[in-house]
Structure 1
Amino acid sequence: MTSMPASERLGSHIKRAEQALGATKNAVLKPAGLTVAQYAALLHLSENPGISAAALARLCGVTPPTMNTVLKNLQDRALIERTPHEWHRNVLETRLTDEGRAVTADADARAVRVERALAAAFTGEERQTLVDLLARCVDLLEGERP
C-alpha cells in the first residue's frame, strides 16, 4: 500500500481536470482542423506577431523542438509565415497569414465556448477562489523546483 491514496493527491485531481479540458478542447477544435497545441500557438501569435519560436514555446508551455514541429505543420498549411529577423538573420519571426487569422478566429470562438461553459459552472466568487488557489499551487511548485 502507498503512503497516500491517489484519491487524496491534489495532483491527481488537477491532472484529471487538465485532461478533461484538453480532451474537450481537442474535440471542439477538430472541425477547425487544429490541435490544442496548434491553437495555442496561433492564439499567442495573434497577440505577439513576429515572436520567435523559442519565446512562443515558453508561452505555450512546450519544448522548443515540439514548437518547431507545431510551426512546421502550421506553415505547411499556410497558416503562418516565418521570415528572418531584420537584424538577427538566425532568428525567424513568425506571423499569421490571412488564412491563419481566419482559422484562429474560428478556433477561438470554439474554445471560448468551452471556457464560458466552464466558468458558468461557478459563481464569480468561486471562480476567483479557484484562480487564487491554482495560482498558489503554481507559486508553491515553482518554488520547489531544484
Structure 2
Amino acid sequence: MSGDREDLTQRVGYQLKRVDAALRSAMDAALRPHGLTTPQYACLELLDRQPGLSNAELARGAFVTRQSMNVVLHNLQDAGLVVRPATAPQGRALPTTLTVEGRRRLHAARADILAIEDKMAGHLSPSQAAHLLDELDRMATALQSL
C-alpha cells in the first residue's frame, strides 16, 4: 500500500456518513422501547408540525421512497397512531393525521431523541451550531443540482 494515498477518514463525506450511521443507530435504540422505528418517528414529527400531509410529502420529509412510506403509514395506522380517510377528499392523496395515542407516543419519544441530539451537538456554542447548520444546508443544496 502506498503512503501517498489520501486518508479517507479526513474527507467531509466520510465523516458525514459516520455521523449519520452513529445517529441512526442511537435513534433506533432509543425508539425501540417506544415501539417506533426511525422512519415512523420522522413521520410522526412531520405530521405533528403539518397535519394532513400526503404520502409523497411524508416520504420526501422522512427521506424514504413513497413505497417505503406507504409501509410506514400502514404500520402506524395499524398501531392506532395515525388515521387516513378511506378515500381522498380530492385528487388521490390521502391526508394523514395523528391520533391522540400517536401524539402521546411522539411526545414520549421526542425527549429521548432530543437527548441524543444534545449529546451529539451539545458541545457546540449557539453560533457554532448555527454555522454548522448553515454549512450543512449549503452542502445539501450543492448536491441537489447533480
For normalisation by structure 2, the TM-score amounts to 0.89
Aligned counterparts of 1:68 and 1:119: Cα–Cα separation in 2: 32
Which residue of the partner structure matches residue 34 of structure 2? Answer: 32
Partner-residue secondary structure (3-state), 2:83: strand
Which residue of the partner structure matches residue 24 of structure 2? Answer: 22
Task: Pick one of 76, 79, 89 that aligns with 1:77.
Answer: 79
Aligned counterparts of 1:40 and 1:23: Cα–Cα separation in 2: 15
Quote the offset at 1:13 in angstroms: 0.6
Q: In the alignment, residue 17 of structure 2 is paired with which amino acid? A: K
Aligned counterparts of 1:106 and 1:98: Cα–Cα separation in 2: 12
Number of residue pairs matched?
A: 143
- Structure 2 runs not aligned, ≥5 long: none
Q: Percent identity?
A: 37
Quote the offset at 1:119 in angstroms: 2.9
Q: In the alignment, residue 87 of structure 1 is paired with which amino acid? A: Q
| Structure 1 residue runs of 4 or more that deviate by more than 6 Å after TM superposition | none
Residues 108-119 of structure 1: pairs in structure 2 closer than 5 A: 108-119=110-121
For normalisation by structure 1, the TM-score amounts to 0.89
Which residue of the partner structure matches residue 56 of structure 2? Answer: 54
Which residue of the partner structure matches residue 98 of structure 1? Answer: 100
- Structure 1 runs not aligned, ≥5 long: none
* Cα deviation code 1:34-74 (max 9, x no counterpart): 11110000110111111111111111111100100111111
Which residue of the partner structure matches residue 42 of structure 1? Answer: 44
